[in-house]
Structures are given as structure tokens and as C-alpha cells.
Structure 1
Amino acid sequence: MIQLSARRILLFFSLLMTLAACVRKATPTEAATGPVTRVYIVRHAEKDLTPGLTDPPLTAEGQTRAQALAAAIPRQTRLSAVFSTNTARTRTTAQPLAAARALPVLLYEARDLPALAARLRRDYPNQNVLVVGHSNTILETVDALGAPRPVPLIPDEAYDYLLEVRLPADAALPATAVAHHYGVRSH
């Protein structure tokens, strides 16, 4: 009888060890990181390419994309702020979403992305914000926020990228970034 019980115990522990070996631990990216600040980053929508314009407006296609941006970030995602550089094309891209959320469009200096990153970390912890920039600043904004680039480059003719940077409240955890697309695919 004792031999049978020992055999059952051995079988039980063997089964338990087999099950334990099958359980996979979540990777840091899969594990809940707690509260995060989400920074959505887009390039301005399609602009008028007429030579000589110092501050080109959006084209009709760009206006349509600006409306698509308003729909791309779900209503249940509460935005706390909308940032734009001080150009007609970026402000006009930001405006439909800002208006739909009853938020002002706040200006930032594209030449000082570290200051923008510091402001976002300081003033908007655990909140969601949108930053509208340019083809030569959106990946650099990801860099300034300390996340690895989700794509190596964004072609000049691409207007449909929506980058999402997550900044964990726990500074020991890494910032992450993913690339999404919105609206009609760019040519």
C-alpha cells in the first residue's frame, strides 16, 4: 500500500513538473506594464505641391485624410491634448480631431523635439496625446521619446502612417512604438 502511494505521489509530481514546463511566461511586451502615456504621431496630410508656396495648404485629398484622422483614434480613447507645428498643413490636419474632442491645437517647435518629449512626459503622464509633424520629424519624435523606431524610414510620399508610442509610468520599463496606417493608403 505504501509503495502504491509513493508511486502516485511520484506520478503526481511528474505530471506537475510537466505542466509547469508547458506554462510560458509572458514577455515584458506581453505583460501588463501598468499605466502608460500614449503619444500618437502623424505627419500632416497631403499638401499642395505648387512650387513657391511658403506655407502650402492641404489638398482636397489632404482634407479627406484629416477627417480620416479624426476617425482613426477611437472615441473611447480619451485625448488630453493635440499638438501641431505652426504651419497651415499641420494645424489643418490636427483641426478636425481637435474640434471633435473639443481640444485646442497646441503649438510646438519642430526644431526642439527633446523639449516636446520632456513636456509630454511631464505634463501628460498616463494620458493620450496626438502630435502632428512632418515627414522629417515624426520618426525623430519617436527617437526623442526614447522608443525604437517602428519603421526604418517614412518615404516623402507616405502620408498614412499613424505611429503609437507607449511610455510606461515605470521609468524602468522601455518605451515602445508601433506603426499603423489610417485613411486611404498613400501612393
Structure 2
Amino acid sequence: MILDLFSYFAKFPSKSGVLSIFTNGSSTYAQYSELHNVITNLPEPLLPAIQSYVFGQSFESVKARIDNLTGTYLFIDYGEFSSKSDYRNSIEDSQKLAATVAMKLSDTSDLVEEAIASAICLNLLNTLRAHLLYDAECGKISWLSRSTIKNHDIIPFVAKELKSIGWTMMFEANAADLFNVKERMASF
């Protein structure tokens, strides 16, 4: 699920901005080179005006990445999972997600520059949102259905410690048995 999220959202920003997240160049994890190949072979980005990609949970790692960026970036924050079973023993899993489009600002930015940056980021986020809704409606995303993303929130992203301003869309990804728990149980 996590690597599916990484790959899905990587199709939006500039390809060079996504590839720059692979700071080690190689890894003992086989998935590292597989993901690098997936990103390298992506078609043209859907939102090339988004210059960089940030994907993570750890504030320290995210801050270190953002500190080295300039311009706009897409930040995907993935959080906790919830799971429910119904009377038929069907499993429904959900995960809390946040997609942020933000822009780095200089220390000397004034209120007008902040408003311009905010407007640019909101426009980019709503274009990403339209793609996400379309993909969910067309069944292109296994972990997200149109009915589960009907309700989402768009909130301001003002992070002085990241020298950034933008907008965040908070939503949940829902799917039946995301982790194949029933299949795993049957193997015991």
C-alpha cells in the first residue's frame, strides 16, 4: 500500500524532482531499484509546475528534504490504518492521507507574495484533486473509490519551520482487505 501511494503520487511532480528523492542512489532493498525504474519510466508529469516530491512520516526526514528544496513541492503524508469487520466477516481497511502542495518562501516574503504563493498552490492542489477524483471514479486506483473520497477537507498549510505556505487535502483511502489478512489467515 505504501509503495503504491509513492508510485501513484510520483506521476504528478516534475520527474527530476521525484528522482531527487532517491538520495542514496542504490540500496540493499530490491524495491529501491524497482521504484527508481518505475519513476524513470513514467510518462510526462501531470503537474510539472510542481517541482519536487516529498513522501514520508518522520518530521525530521521531511524537514531535511524540504530544507534543500526551492519552489513548489508535493508532500504526501500517510498515517494510521483502521480496520473494520462486518457481520459477514468482510474486512474494510482505511488509511488517513494528506496531499499538500506548498511553496518555499524567502524570509523576506511579504503578505502579497504569501497570497500569490497560496493562490498558486491552491490551484495546483485542485488540479491534483480533479485527477484523483477522476482516477477513483474510473477505478484506476485499487485503494480508493469515488464513494470514499466524497468527503475530504482542504486546509491551509502554513509551516514557518519549513518556510512554506500552501494547501493540504486530507482524505481517507478505503479498500476491502488491503493487506490480504483473510488470505493469510487461510494459510494457517
TM-score normalized by structure 1?
A: 0.31
Higher-Rg member (1/2): 1
TM-score normalized by structure 2?
A: 0.31
More strand by share: 2
